[in-house]
Structure 1
Amino acid sequence: MKLLLLNHRSFMAAPLSSIRRALLSTCSAVKWEGGVSMVQGASRGIGLEFVKQLLEKNEKGHVIATCRNPDGATALLDLKNEFAERLNILQLDLTIESTIEASANSIRERYGSLNLLINASGILSIPNVLQPETTLTKVQKSSLLLTYEVNAVGPILVIKHMWPLLKAGGGSGTERDVAVVANLSARVGSIGDNRLGGWHSYRSSKAALNQCMISL
């Protein structure tokens, strides 16, 4: 098993064209021929682009795309129409572990194993709910807990439930020797590189994700 932390740096507000260029130039995960790949957080942004690259750049293999609301993921549904036999869309909410377990069971029943897992979802801000903290007075317990739940706890729970499938899949059916788990982190999660402060919820959640990955 190979585990990766992908540093998205400024992807958070980047246009999709920039995300596409960055993925093509920096991420070898999209060059994945065959096997079964899963992208968690695939309805938009970076996760959606991973799904597109995995489908368009490879002629073989299956892709599982998960998101909270598949019925509202119009871009994913468009891809489903184009790659009907290779793309499977599943409902998964990082804050509800039973949906993660249900996705794992569905993958086990349909494919039996998994070769690539990309945890791409993450939150920085939500209108009227969550905003990056520029001062200490703006820090709220609810923001800290929600960001930690989505950015750190959720990905680890996904790995937990997909681990047996990844072990069963290994590198079989692909050009790789082992299964790969990739998590999208951020430079601002670095403690040593933190010169400006602020963004308490986001910084700490990404630092927690990094620590969990090192432990794994």
Structure 2
Amino acid sequence: MSARVLVIGASGGIGAALAAACRSRGDAVTTLSRSADGFDVTDEASVRSGLGRFTSPFDAVIVATGALEIEGATPEKTIKAITQKAMMDQFALNAVGPALVLRHAEQLLPRDKRAVFAVLSARVGSIGDNRLGGWISYRSAKAAVNQIVHTAAIELRRSHLQSICVALHPGTVETAFTKKYVGRHPAVPASEAADNLLHVIDGLTPADSGGFFDWAGKAVAW
């Protein structure tokens, strides 16, 4: 049975691959992005109006927005390299953006059956797994979105008993987003990453809501 899926950030490498993968298996896919639709997750008015035009619920909402570099600001190697603007830009896009979507998307999830809200996070947002330091603004924004997802999951299950709200780490993916930073790390094509993520999403249950999982379905430390 096909599902109704909303992919936000569908113009990016992983977002586009997720939308394509969902369509290939017969899902009814709706997409939103800043480049194609003017949907800007850093602008609450844009989020409100963009999501407000939908009247039917979605079985899954996937937030695939995010950036490692914003306006040329690269990940910091040390705390001495942080700037207020770069850090605020990271939080606006990678943490506040998904929070705004969560705030305005609750009405798009059915109350009487399984519903998934997934946000793409990153393992570098894990505090417990941080052994290298650096990338402070990006790490902190991803740690923040993990907390946002975990908190929202607690609230969501009060009204949506079968809801699943999770943060997902897609692994290192071959996209323009990661091109400069892959180095010797193994990376997979966006299409493979999308298939992995959908496999994880398909296997989640309401008991997993509020969790942080990687592309293989394994829990990631907070």
Pairing of 1:1-216 with structure 2 (within 5 A) = 33-58=1-26, 61-70=27-36, 90-108=37-55, 112-126=56-70, 128=72, 130-167=73-110, 171=113, 178-216=114-152
Contact 2:82 2:136 in 1 (8 A): yes
Q: Distance in 2 between matches of 1:48 and 1:38?
A: 12
Q: How far 1:138 sits from its partner (Å)?
A: 1.4
Q: How far 1:104 sits from its partner (Å)?
A: 1.5
Q: Distance in 1 between matches of 2:110 and 2:23?
A: 23
Q: How far 1:136 sits from its partner (Å)?
A: 2.1
Q: How far 1:153 sits from its partner (Å)?
A: 0.8
Q: How far 1:34 sits from its partner (Å)?
A: 2.1
Query: Tell me, what secondary structure is at the counterpart of 1:181?
Result: strand
Q: How far 1:64 sits from its partner (Å)?
A: 1.3
Tell me the matched-pair count: 152
Query: Tell me, what secondary structure is at the counterpart of 1:204?
Result: helix
Cα deviations by residue, 1:161-213 (Å, 9 ceiling, x for unpaired): 11012135x54xxxxxx110011111111111111111001100010011111
| TM-score between both structures, scaled by the size of structure 2 | 0.65
Q: Distance in 2 between matches of 1:65 and 1:120?
A: 11
Runs of 4+ in 1 over 4 A off after TM superposition: none
What is the identity, as a one-letter code, of the residue corresponding to 1:200? I
Q: Distance in 1 between matches of 2:43 and 2:137?
A: 20
Contact 2:70 2:89 in 1 (8 A): no
- Structure 1 unaligned segments of length 5 or more: list them: 1-32, 71-89, 172-177
Q: How far 1:214 sits from its partner (Å)?
A: 1.2
- Structure 2 unaligned segments of length 5 or more: list them: 153-222
Q: Distance in 2 between matches of 1:127 and 1:148?
A: 14
Q: How far 1:103 sits from its partner (Å)?
A: 1.5
Query: Tell me, what secondary structure is at the counterpart of 2:54?
Result: helix
Query: Tell me, what secondary structure is at the counterpart of 2:32?
Result: strand
Q: How far 1:127 sits from its partner (Å)?
A: 5.3
Query: Tell me, what secondary structure is at the counterpart of 2:109?
Result: helix
Query: Tell me, what secondary structure is at the counterpart of 1:167?
Result: coil
- Higher helix proportion (structure 1 or 2): 1
